[in-house]
Chain A
Amino acid sequence: GEDVEQSLFLSVREGDSSVINCTYTDSSSTYLYWYKQEPGAGLQLLTYIFSNMDMKQDQRLTVLLNKKDKHLSLRIADTQTGDSTIYFCAETIRSGNTPLVFGKGTRLSVIA
């Protein structure tokens, strides 16, 4: 079945780059997503990548996909204290309105 794994915690210094990693098990994943969640709130989409792409960049965010190793990463450049929150990796195995399968989330702490 589908499974998405993330490390639970990451701590970085302000101004450094953060790299949040994710692995997934289903090789037929079509899209992979990154969401963030502020305390007590819903999830907010950051970016997504199609499985035939290796990289996607959006301002301070860079997504890298290694389909062979089923590994996805989110790099946040120049990390700020305001980036401290929980980040979720997710996948879908078919296009269309297939529900997303989420990882357990990585809590990013940025130290000033």
Chain B
Amino acid sequence: DGGITQSPKYLFRKEGQNVTLSCEQNLNHDAMYWYRQDPGQGLRLIYYSQIVNDFQKGDIAEGYSVSREKKESFPLTVTSAQKNPTAFYLCASSRQGSGANVLTFGAGSRLTVL
């Protein structure tokens, strides 16, 4: 079955450490996205990529980095510069097209800073 897989599901980090969240899709989708979700805050866009080897900053990119070396993969690194990284992180992908941008979401990764 095609889908989008995020790992790990739960991650604990000490302050000052960088961590990388994995996002892999086998839907042959061109675009991939990272959103951050905090209680009562909805989803906020961190980074997105519409094509391999290219990505754009979202509304809250500071303290995060991404790469898009393969179409299937869009890992997110939460760096020590991110001051409040505890959150639920959602990865999504969508097909290239001119109509509605229907996002398929992964199950999310919950990061907790100890």
B-binding residues in A (CB < 8 A) = 8, 31, 33, 40-45, 48, 50, 88, 92, 95-105
Contact = CB atoms under 8 A, between A and B. Distances in A.
Nearest to B42: A104
Given A42-B90, A95-B98, A100 B103 contact: yes
Interface in B82-108: 90, 92, 94, 96-108
B40 interface: yes
Interface in B23-64: 30-31, 33, 35, 40-43, 45, 48, 50, 58
Contacts of B92: 42-43
Contact of A96 (B33, B97, B107): B97
Nearest to B6: A42
In order of increasing CB-CB distance, the 5 nearest A-B pairs are A42-B105, A104-B42, A97-B31, A102-B43, A31-B100
B42 A88 contact: yes
Contact of A45 (B33, B43, B103): B103
Most chain A CB within a 10 A radius of its CB, from B41, B58, B96, B102: B102
Residue among B31, B42, B99, B104 having the largest count of chain A Cβ atoms under 10 Å: B42
A25 to B, nearest CB: 15
A92 B48 CA distance: 14
A41 B90 CA distance: 9
Contacts of B100: 31, 33, 48, 50, 92, 95
Nearest to A4: B42
Given A41-B107, A96-B98, A88 B43 contact: yes
Contacts of B108: 40-42
Contact of A98 (B35, B40, B101, B105): B101
Contact of B30 (A48, A97, A103, A104): A97
